[in-house]
Amino acid sequence: MLRSHTCGELRLTDINTEVTLAGWVQRVRNKGGLIWVDLRDRYGVTQLIFEEGSTDKALLDKAASLGREFVIQASGKVIERTSKNDKIPTGAIEVKAETLEVLNAAKVPPFIIEDETDGGDELRMKYRYLDLRRNVVREKLQLRHRMMQETRKYMDAQDFIEVETPVLIKSTPEGARDFVVPSRVNPGEFYALPQSPQTFKQLLMVSGFDRYFQIVKCFRDEDLRADRQPEFTQIDCEMSFVTQEDILNTFEGLVRHLFTNAKEVQLGEVERMTFADAMKYYGNDKPDLRFDMKFAELNDVAQGKGFAIFDQAELVVGICATGAGEYTRKQIDALTEWVKRPQIGAKGLVYVKCNDDGTYKSSVDKFYSQDDLKAWAEKVNAKVGDLILVLSGDAKSTRKQMSELRLKMGEDLGLRDRNVFKPLWVVDFPLLEWDEETQRFHAMHHPFTSPKTEDIPLLETDPGAVRANAYDLVINGVEIGGGSIRIHDRPTQQLMFKHLGFTDEEAQKQFGFLMEAFEYGAPPHGGIAFGFDRFCAIFGGSDSIRDYIAFPKNNSGRDVMIDSPSTIADEQLKELSIQVELKKG
């Protein structure tokens, strides 16, 4: 070994110990006859001291020539620091260097490699191997490591078997776009990279592996954002001979285990809410429960008073922003402009201030009496000092707009504390959702999700009303995982394909292997998949999953460090029987 200790290891108990350290030069402070070098490795920072008189001149000159990020090895004796640094674990000691060897000199790095850096996102991604030297980034990957190990520990204790499934699979038309891979030995044919191991984990249940899991790479060719990458990691799980309740309890156990052992947080109650209630009271299927601000429908108290905007609306809905009654006109105008942005799409915003003297001040005082506004306040549970915000329009878009406004108010009022965790199971999702573009129903989750038995007759008469045995885990307004009880018999699966618009021939071509497998004794089964990268970001208190991935892509799906994707040689294209023709415009 080129070192006897790490740079985060030495303490006062090591005084007078002869040690050898190796690492990167964090910084050099040269006071002429006295030089300090901060030496860094993955484990921490230790200060080296070179002092004129007790250090020969050649060694002092060598220390003076060191630059940032030089890789060095130094040997010497551990001594007590006269000026201690209580901000680092090794701050009570330093190493009086007796030898110094430069293992590799370094160019001046393109940005400062410290917690507070001067490097922008794109620059740090180009030099990701340097960014990974920063403590704040390394700690995120160490958190990811702990969560991965604790996941395996819990799953093994619950008798799950980790099984790897293929990465080169068959392309399917449902879901996001596939990444495709040409086959050289089968000209004109392509593999797809898996969006999830869905069909394989179901086949493992048919095989009798009644408890499967895998921490697995998945791939989706979709537009990127903070919590999306073209390649991402799932904790993928499946169980046989279980009900929905069994699955929720088992994986609530996993979530508690991870919070306890990787985050040292004791999780409170995990609430349950139907999809219908989530949409009614929060306007989306992943509500943030760290704060209240439930929707209240105001049609019965707001319509019929001559205010045409409300009278013509399908839905009038309000929220109560507790303690925001002191908002100024300027603040409310800013909120109005915010909801009118194209991304939100509201036509306007009505407000009611609940004054300290028990009166109400509203932007629609012309149409509503004090008694009318009091009825609004009672509906939204508003008290003195609160602010009522009201939107109206068609029900679907108004709920979505109010959901965005609710989240903004939660943020502005400091109610979305990253150190508070509110998990929630959302259950009873619709089986199907209507797509205006294609004018047909699509599976809300995937085509293998089972409908609730009592709702199957509705497939013929009211497909949109059919509920699925499906569930999502939401934490702080972020969907962390989702799953369902699966269809496990051929007739029901064929019925599902029919209602999704598949012909018998298309269903057979795409999924014939699965339906045939169902005829060989498929057990009832179900499962869930967690977005592992999102899980890590929630634990680390981040909005973006990027820092929890060692080598992420940018918002254009590019790896700017290795310059990928890239063109390939004509000879390779020829081998693959591919001709590239780029469309113009």
Q: What does the DSSP assignment read for 129-155? A: HHHTTSHHHHHHHHHHHHHHHHHHHHH
Is 174 part of any known ligand binding site?
A: yes
Reply yes or no on whether the pLDDT at 585 is more than 70. no
Q: What is the dihedral of CA 464, 468, 474, 479, to 10 degrees?
A: -70
Reply yes or no on whether the pLDDT at 173 is more than 80. no
CA–CA separation, 344 vs 349, rounded Å?
A: 12
Is 479 part of any known ligand binding site?
A: yes
Which amino acid is located at 569 in the chain? A
Reply yes or no on whether the pLDDT at 142 is more than 90. yes
| DSSP 3-state of 271 | strand
CA atoms within 13 A of residue 501's CA, in its CB half-sphere: 12
Tokens 């495709």 locate to 180
CA–CA separation, 274 vs 276, rounded Å?
A: 5
Tens-place pLDDT, residues 308-320: 999 999 999 999 9
Is 341 part of any known ligand binding site?
A: no
Is 531 part of any known ligand binding site?
A: yes
Is 221 part of any known ligand binding site?
A: yes
Reply yes or no on whether the pLDDT at 439 is more than 80. no
Q: Are strands 440-443 and 432-435 parallel, antiparallel or unpaired?
A: antiparallel
Is 534 part of any known ligand binding site?
A: yes
Beta strands in 468-524 (DSSP E): 470-475, 478-485
> Across residues 431-451, what is the average pLDDT?
84
Is 314 part of any known ligand binding site?
A: no
Q: Residue 502's pLDDT band (boundaries 50, 70, 90)?
A: confident
**pTM of the model as a whole:** 0.91
> Crossing angle, helix 329-339 and helix 395-412, to 10 degrees?
140
Q: Residue 160's pLDDT band (boundaries 50, 70, 90)?
A: very high
Structure tokens at 183: 């086959």
Q: Residue 124's pLDDT band (boundaries 50, 70, 90)?
A: very high
Tokens 């693959």 locate to 576
Using the CB atoms, write b or e for 351-383: b if 16+ within 10 Å.
Answer: bbbbeeeeebebebeebbeeebbbebbebbebe
Please, what is the average pLDDT of the chain? 94
Is 385 part of any known ligand binding site?
A: no
Reply yes or no on whether the pLDDT at 331 is more than 90. yes
Reply yes or no on whether the pLDDT at 226 is more than 80. no
Is 3 part of any known ligand binding site?
A: no
> Across residues 134-142, what is the average pLDDT?
95
193 φ/ψ sector (left φ>0, alpha ψ -120 to 50, else beta)? beta
pLDDT for the residue numbered 584: 78
pLDDT for the residue numbered 360: 96
Reply yes or no on whether the pLDDT at 174 is more than 70. no
For the ranges 35-49, 57-71, 436-450, 517-531, which has the lowest average pLDDT?
436-450
Peptide bond into 565 cis (omega under 30): yes
pLDDT for the residue numbered 222: 87
Q: What is the largest CA-CA distance in the chain?
A: 94
Cross-strand partners of 20: 75
Is 482 part of any known ligand binding site?
A: no
Is 488 part of any known ligand binding site?
A: no
∠ CA 156-157-160, rounded to 5°: 40
Q: Residue 441's pLDDT band (boundaries 50, 70, 90)?
A: confident
State the alpha helices, DSSP H only, in 56-134.
57-64, 121-126, 128-131
> Across residues 59-88, what is the average pLDDT?
96
Those residues whose C-beta lies under 8 Å from the C-beta of residue 183, and which sit 6 or more positions away, are 189, 190, 191, 576
Those residues whose C-beta lies under 8 Å from the C-beta of residue 139, and which sit 6 or more positions away, are none
Is 546 part of any known ligand binding site?
A: no
| DSSP 3-state of 506 | helix
- Which of these, 203, 182, 204, lies nearest to 193 by C-alpha position? 182
Tens-place pLDDT, residues 242-263: 999 999 999 999 999 999 999 9
Tokens 């790490």 locate to 6
For the ranges 20-29, 284-293, 323-332, 443-452, which has the lowest average pLDDT?
443-452
pLDDT for the residue numbered 401: 97
Q: Residue 509's pLDDT band (boundaries 50, 70, 90)?
A: confident
How many other CB atoms sit within 10 Å of the CB of residue 477?
20
First to last CA, the chain: 59
Cross-strand partners of 428: none
pLDDT for the residue numbered 114: 93
Structure tokens at 258: 């991870």
